Amino acid sequence: MTERKSGNLFAKLTPPASEERFEALLETDGVTLEHIVSTGQATPPGDWYDQPRAEWVVLLKGAAGLRFEDETEVRELRPGDYVLIPAHARHRVEWTSETEPTVWLALHVAESRGA
């Protein structure tokens, strides 16, 4: 980690893609920082994410609906909104904007003390 890797999270957002784009920005022991660009995708019907690590996720552009299995309401996320998704908290992305790219930053971490 001696390289001063730099870039822009909002660059190259076009053209709309048929698949979500994932890019690992940083990967260390137990920690992954991921840049995600969605263009209308959602978690397939009936599927739930059940992750072994906690995920801190922020939506930076666009909009999305996030649902936890044990919640009835879909959380609507707008730019700047972040949520900490505990390990094994089953959740899914109900929708992402179809009119503009949705940019996420997701930090996956193995364990926590505090916060």
For the four alpha carbons of 71, 77, 82 and 88, in that order, the dihedral sign comes to: positive
Going from the C-alpha of 101 to that of each of 46, 56, 67, 96, 105, the distances in angstroms are 24, 20, 20, 8, 13
Contact with its own copies (CB under 8 A): which of 17, 21, 33, 97? 33
48 touches its own copies (CB under 8 A): no
Which residues in 76-95 contact its own copies (CB under 8 A)? 78-87, 89
Count of all residues that appear for the chain in the document:
115
* Of the residues 22, 31, 76, 98, which one makes contact with its own copies according to CB under 8 A: 31
Contact residues for its own copies (CB under 8 A)?
A: 1-11, 24-31, 33, 54, 56, 58, 60, 68, 75, 78-87, 89, 105, 107, 109-115
